[in-house]
Amino acid sequence: MKIKGKIMISCHEATFLISKKQEDKLSFSEQMKLSLHLMYCKYCNRFAKQTKQITDSIKKMNRKMNKNSVKIKLTEEQKKRIREAINNRNE
pLDDT score at 3: 46
Contacts 24+ apart (CB under 8 A), 45-53: 47/14, 47/15, 47/18, 48/18, 51/18, 51/19, 51/22, 52/22
Enumerate residue ranges in the chain where pLDDT < 50. 1-4
Q: What is the pTM of this model?
A: 0.63
Residues of the chain with pLDDT > 70, as a percent, come to 85
